[in-house]
């Protein structure tokens, strides 16, 4: 239905502004930052994700003949301008936080430096691509923090908002520490480990629950996860242990069972006892059904003997906080810093860098937002990732990004890791940046 590189996946005003820039020959270098204005209420930090898809988009951006024809027929654009779009390519520079980097409000995730029309056109889709994966990685890591040594699997495809969200949620969750996904296409496209159980319909389609269990196990002799709650969970567990000796004699292993409704903690305890007594102590218990970090926490407090979890809708939609205030703002044009001063939406101008300071043991202590040409102590976080419209290096393997997330979480002050309470990390504004703002505001008034 659409592709990641579709140049018309943008807002109309980008094209009408491009027409103005074309008419006025405004082709000088613009610098835009992508950043989050405020963290959502229930997030102490965010995790950058989606850069790989954003760079793909920039590298492949061009107008196809049918798109130009359609634009020409709109009645909004003049012929010369449409003609100029045939040559349109992105030739700019991109600085970005590596995927998996922890960041906070006001910190640029990505900086575009390019001729104004190029930097302008890409706004809508860049926000769209980085927003969603960052949202989901930042939600997923909270689930990982709530269930650190458990297998977590993305089950959210069906209620993710559309096909691309379904696919990219699997990637973002995996980056953040999930063990895998149920979405087959994400396995094929990204090499993410796939997990699956069975649905109630398979049980219902059989005249007896026993036959359903047996047939599914025979067809999946190593990997079967049996769903217990179609009719009555405990009765189903007892049926399973009666079948087990016969299956085991045929070399079939029951890898796990799944419980998807009712009081998960209590049912898991009862099912664990039934399985252990029945010789299935190696069979894992998998839980699912409206789970998120808050429910995972309750289940642990309740001592639920559950080994793995399928996290679905509440992950792929980030239901407790389904948006980030991610914006893309002009910070410099034609060598001059620029600043928006709309009430409540003011921006920090100029080419900036984030300097991350750490204690001797590596724990993060503070970030400083400064101008690039006024370096400070600390590790500079923004790296050049694209030059002249081409990637500087090959895409990072997902495993490297996963390792970065783990390392960054380990270096995060403990109160910030607590997903149950709010804690604010210090991000300071360098004096040079404050002076620049004062100078620009003064010039305006």
Cβ-based nearer residue to a copy of itself, 203 or 381: 203
Cβ-based nearer residue to a copy of itself, 95 or 329: 329
Q: Does 55 bind a copy of itself (CB under 8 A)?
A: no
Q: Does 59 bind a copy of itself (CB under 8 A)?
A: no
User: What H or E segment, with its residue span, contains residue 225?
Assistant: strand 224-227
Spatial distance between the Cα atoms of 11 and 72, rounded to a whole number of angstroms = 16
Contact string 185-214 vs a copy of itself (x = CB under 8 A): x-xxx----xxxxxxxxx-xx-x-------
Q: Does 216 bind a copy of itself (CB under 8 A)?
A: yes
Contact 107/430 with Cβ under 8 angstroms? no
Contact 71/150 with Cβ under 8 angstroms? no
What is the SS3 assignment for 301? helix
Spatial distance between the Cα atoms of 370 and 350, rounded to a whole number of angstroms = 9
Q: Does 52 bind a copy of itself (CB under 8 A)?
A: no
Rounded to a whole number of angstroms, the minimum distance from the CB of residue 375 to a copy of itself is 26
Contact 278/244 with Cβ under 8 angstroms? yes
Q: Does 403 bind a copy of itself (CB under 8 A)?
A: no
Contact 257/228 with Cβ under 8 angstroms? yes
Q: Does 86 bind a copy of itself (CB under 8 A)?
A: no
Spatial distance between the Cα atoms of 263 and 259, rounded to a whole number of angstroms = 9
The Cα-based distances of 246 to 216, 254, 273 in angstroms read: 14, 12, 20
User: What H or E segment, with its residue span, contains residue 141?
Assistant: helix 123-146
Cβ-based nearer residue to a copy of itself, 199 or 403: 199
Q: Does 392 bind a copy of itself (CB under 8 A)?
A: no
**Segment 156-185, which members bind a copy of itself (CB under 8 A)?**
157-168, 182-185
Contact string 252-291 vs a copy of itself (x = CB under 8 A): --------xxx-----------------------------
Q: Does 46 bind a copy of itself (CB under 8 A)?
A: no
The Cα-based distances of 115 to 61, 81, 112, 129, 389 in angstroms read: 15, 16, 10, 21, 11
Rounded to a whole number of angstroms, the minimum distance from the CB of residue 99 to a copy of itself is 17
Contact 173/164 with Cβ under 8 angstroms? no
Q: Does 343 bind a copy of itself (CB under 8 A)?
A: yes
Cβ-based nearer residue to a copy of itself, 242 or 345: 345
DSSP state of 194: B
**Segment 61-80, which members bind a copy of itself (CB under 8 A)?**
67, 70, 74, 76
Q: Which of 293-301, 343-351, 374-382, 401-409 is the region at the interface with a copy of itself (rule: CB under 8 A)?
A: 343-351
Spatial distance between the Cα atoms of 421 and 176, rounded to a whole number of angstroms = 20
List the one residue from 51, 152, 326, 382 that touches a copy of itself (CB under 8 A). Answer: 326
**Segment 123-142, which members bind a copy of itself (CB under 8 A)?**
123-125, 127-128, 131-132, 135
Cβ-based nearer residue to a copy of itself, 70 or 422: 70
């Amino acid at each position: 239905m659409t592709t990641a590189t579709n140049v018309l996946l943008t807002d109309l005003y980008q094209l009408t502004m491009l027409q103005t820039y074309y008419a006025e020959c405004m082709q000088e270098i613009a610098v835009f930052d992508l950043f989050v204005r405020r963290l959502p209420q229930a997030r102490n930090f965010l995790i950058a994700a989606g850069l790989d898809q954003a760079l793909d988009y920039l590298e492949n951006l061009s107008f196809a003949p049918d798109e130009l024809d359609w634009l020409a027929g709109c009645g909004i654009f003049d012929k010369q301008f449409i003609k100029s779009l045939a040559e349109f390519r992105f030739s700019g520079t991109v600085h970005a936080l590596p995927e998996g980097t922890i960041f906070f409000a006001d910190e640029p995730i990505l900086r575009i430096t390019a001729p104004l029309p190029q930097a302008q056109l890409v706004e809508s889709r860049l926000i769209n691509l980085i927003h969603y994966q960052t949202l989901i990685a930042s939600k997923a890591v909270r689930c990982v923090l709530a269930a650190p040594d458990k297998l977590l699997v993305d089950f959210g495809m069906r209620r993710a908002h559309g096909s691309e969200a379904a696919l990219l949620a699997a990637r973002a969750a995996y980056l953040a520490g999930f063990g895998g996904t149920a979405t087959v296409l994400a396995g094929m496209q990204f090499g993410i480990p796939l997990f699956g159980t069975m649905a109630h319909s398979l049980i219902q389609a059989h005249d007896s629950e026993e036959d359903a269990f047996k047939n599914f196990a025979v067809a999946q002799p190593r990997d079967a996860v049996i769903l217990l709650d179609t009719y009555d969970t405990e009765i189903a567990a007892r049926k399973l242990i009666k079948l087990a000796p016969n299956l085991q004699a045929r070399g079939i292993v029951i890898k796990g069972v799944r419980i998807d409704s009712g009081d998960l903690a209590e049912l898991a305890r009862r099912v664990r006892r039934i399985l252990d007594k029945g010789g299935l102590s190696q069979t894992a218990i998998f839980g699912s059904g409206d789970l998120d970090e808050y429910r995972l926490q309750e289940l642990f407090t309740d001592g639920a003997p559950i080994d793995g979890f399928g996290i679905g809708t509440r992950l792929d939609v980030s239901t407790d906080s389904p948006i980030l205030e991610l914006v893309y703002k002009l910070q410099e044009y034609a060598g001059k810093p620029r600043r928006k001063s709309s009430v409540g939406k003011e921006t920090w101008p100029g080419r900036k860098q984030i300097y991350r300071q750490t204690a001797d043991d590596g724990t993060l202590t503070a970030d400083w937002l400064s101008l690039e040409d006024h370096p400070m102590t600390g590790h500079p976080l923004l790296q050049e990732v694209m030059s002249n419209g081409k990637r500087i290096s090959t895409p990072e393997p997902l495993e490297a990004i996963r390792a970065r997330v783990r390392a960054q979480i380990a270096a995060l002050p403990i109160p910030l890791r607590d997903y149950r309470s709010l804690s604010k990390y210090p991000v300071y504004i360098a004096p040079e940046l404050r002076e620049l703002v004062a100078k620009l505001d003064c010039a305006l008034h």
